[in-house]
Structure 1
Amino acid sequence: MSLSIVIVAVNARMFKFKTSGIINPVKSLIPDGEKMEDKPKINKSKVYIIKTDDRNQGIPQLMKNFSLNDWSGDNIALKANYNSSDDHPAPTHIETLKNIVSQLIINKTGKISLAERSGMGDTRDVLEKKGVFSLSEELGKEFAAELGEKRENKEKHEQTEKKVVEGKNLVKAFEIVVLNELGASNWRKISGSGNHWMKGFYLPELIFESDRIVETCCLKTHRFGGHFTLSLKNFVGWVAKKVPGGIYDYMVELHVSPFQRQMIAEINQHFQTDMIIMDAIKGFVTQGPEKGQEIEPNLLLASYDRVAMDAVGVAILRSHGVKSPVGKGDIFQQAQLKRAAELKIGASSADEIELINLNNVSKEDINEIKSILRT
């Protein structure tokens, strides 16, 4: 049996002080009109590495690095990768989603909302085919007591005893928000000022109302102009294609623009991420995002920092023979990463990423990643 390698990158968080003097992590919301570039420079991003052949073992162990006790009661906006209904590594592996949601519930977070918009298929149909609705019901049964307690604490005016009965009064582990089905009032306009979007773009209000943002993404190249689709690119699935009542197609603009890769980074300047887990047990080194030459790096990655995450992801793609343009030049000159670094979304060079070995990952593996990052 081959072992998977799991990488967790933890970036030092920005902090704020309550009047009690207790230090608490800044939550996900960036105030309206404020950008990531208005925030203090983040510190060096630490990348923790651990080997495993099991998502069910690896993901919970990695999530212990995120101080989830501090997340108690926090509402979570969750972004997975359900752009299409193809097999993994095109979309999020169902076991990855299951483990992330399970750990959030175990750590007593508040409401979990998975928000998705598919670019290569009907979103609701894609989620149905990939088992996402069924998973919410399955975990609802498994964690009925924990989820019932949440409702009791939140809805004291209602009867709080919850029973899971097939087809009736079923507790769901997480809400599934099909973004294509939202009304116009559920979208927030982001100005095009200072970025490459001609008319700006729209993000769902849900993410600004949440306390934390959690993402899980895949390891893939992107043949439609993105060059690679990792954590930054995955958030394109939170941008409205069209706003109800409007005719303008924001995805057409994105995909025909010569500035597509810069525009991808610019989406990300309006919110912070609190946890990102990349499932790179498999990946694509050609074509993408829904098909391509499959590789098996046997890696999982996690980070607070989208730029550090994607830089390491590109290094992994290069270690498995990806060709240009992803395989050529300084990693931090890749347009997505260069623009994201300019906007101070995350690390701006390989020197700001620290790799830390958590178990028996070989020194040679770490040295290879370090070497490629500096190429």
Structure 2
Amino acid sequence: MDKIVGLCHFLGDRTPRHVPLVEPKPRRPNPWRENDRVIVAKVTAEGDIRDSTEQVLARLGGLNRAIGRGNRVLVKPNFNSPDPFPGSTDLPFLRTVVQILLEAGASVTIGESSGGVWRPSRKVFRKVGLYELGHTLGVDVIAFEDNPKDWVRVKIKGDYLDSVTMPRAAYEADKLVYLPCMKTHSMSAYTGALKLAFGFVHPGERRAYHMGHLQEKLAEVSLCWQPDLILMDGRKAFVSGGPDTGELVEPGLLLASGDLIAIDVEALKVLLSYKARNRLPPDPWQLPQIASALKHGLGAGEGGYILLG
């Protein structure tokens, strides 16, 4: 029954009319650099998740370089489906990140929109305990599609997209924090930081993305804005299948960066270190979403970042 309801949502979604047309958010310089190269921080995460998260932030250079008191922060987890981590964001990890942001003096909202036959998002949120977590922490949890008026259409100059309908809550936030999982994907080969932004796109637009050049379109979504901080949970990962279920491995890692391309390339290297049947190219830079993101200047190129860890 749940999948029938979800299918009805999937087929019935329509992009709202008469939403404001806006320019992309101004891009801020990446504050985490060393010797003029952006940083990807990596730590082994075997014990307490709070300790590991603090360690990776310290290795990156400190949260206060980008986020501090008074900032309105939107945290974007991965709740495409209600499946357990790494099919979805690990709730204790999400709790830890939100607590660290609150302790830094930021105000926090958690926002997400689930995918495909798993919608409506609020059903997924209830199943995974997201609303309960928000209540406990005193932060708002929003399903982007719940209010049809809370959208903007962002003008971009992509090869395949000239605008993207995105949530007003994300567009108006002072800072954006992405919490991608590390995994392969049955349709886009890989899902990480770049692919996480697809969860912002209005559900009524998403179907058309699958009609061709999916990976390139996924990258072009990030022409709307870039995250201020990316924390990738690689304690567990899928090396085939995905995004909801797949062949499970346990790299035992946390990655952090302010660069979409660099963190995804490092995550791809981790996945490629396992023998598995998947659609990943042997060279991460050959993955279409990475190549497209690089073409559009969405992050560091080869040799343009440094791995600390």
Does the pair score TM above 0.5? yes
| Aligned mates of 1:193, 1:345 — CA distance in 2 | 13
Equivalence for 1:101: 98
The match for 1:56 among 50, 56, 72 is: 50
Matched residue, 1:190: 154
Whether the 8 Å CA contact 1:189–1:203 is kept in 2: the answer is yes
Q: Give the Cα separation in 2 of the matches to 1:34 and 1:89.
A: 31
- 1:332–1:191 distance in 2 versus 1, CA, 3 Å: same
* Aligned with 2:141 (options 164, 176, 185): 176
Counterpart residue type for residue 354 of structure 1: I
1:342 corresponding residue in structure 2: 295
The Cα shift of 1:51 comes to 2.6
SS in 1 for 2:111: strand
| Structure 1 unpaired stretches of 5+ | 1-30, 140-171, 243-249, 358-375
Does residue 1:354 correspond to 2:306, yes or no? yes
Letter in 1 for 2:240: T
Give 1:193 deviation, angstroms: 4.7
Higher strand share: 2
Matches within 5 A, 1:34-73: 34=24, 43-53=36-46, 54-64=48-58, 65-68=61-64, 71-73=68-70
* DSSP-derived class of the 2:195 partner: helix
Structure 1 equivalent of residue 76 of structure 2: 79
1:299: Cα distance to partner?
1.0
Contact persistence 1:338–1:348 (CA under 8 A): no
Mapping for residues 193-232 of structure 1, pairs under 5 Å? 193-197=157-161, 200-224=163-187, 226-232=188-194
Q: Which runs of 5 or more structure 2 residues have no equivalent in the other structure?
A: 1-20
Alpha-carbon offset, residue 68 of structure 1: 2.3
Tell me how large the CA RMSD over aligned residues is.
2.3
SS in 1 for 2:145: helix
* Deviation, structure 1 residue 123: 0.6
1:289-338 per-residue CA deviation (whole Å, 9 max, x = no partner) reads 00111111111111100100100011000011244531x24321211111
CA distance in 2, matches of 1:214, 1:192: 21
Three-state SS of the structure 1 residue aligned to 2:86 is coil
Residue 324 to residue 133, structure 1, CA distance change in 2 (3 Å): closer
Alignment CA distance shift 1:321-1:107 (3 Å): same
Asked if 2 retains the 8 angstrom alpha-carbon contact of 1:36 and 1:345, the reply is no
Question: Are the counterparts in 1 of residues 24 and 154 from structure 2 also a CA contact under 8 Å?
Answer: no
The higher radius of gyration belongs to: 1
How many residue pairs end up in the alignment? Answer: 279
Query: TM-score when scaled to structure 1?
Result: 0.70
Cα contact 2:272–2:282 (8 A) shared by 1: no
Q: Are the aligned partners of 1:232 and 1:310 in contact in 2 as well (CA < 8 Å)? A: yes
Contact 1:66–1:275 under 8 Å retained in 2: no
Structure-1 residue corresponding to 2:135: 137
1:91 alignment partner, SS class: coil
Corresponding residue of 1:234: 196
- Selected match of 1:116 from 102, 112, 115: 112
Q: 1:255 aligns with which of 210, 219, 236?
A: 210
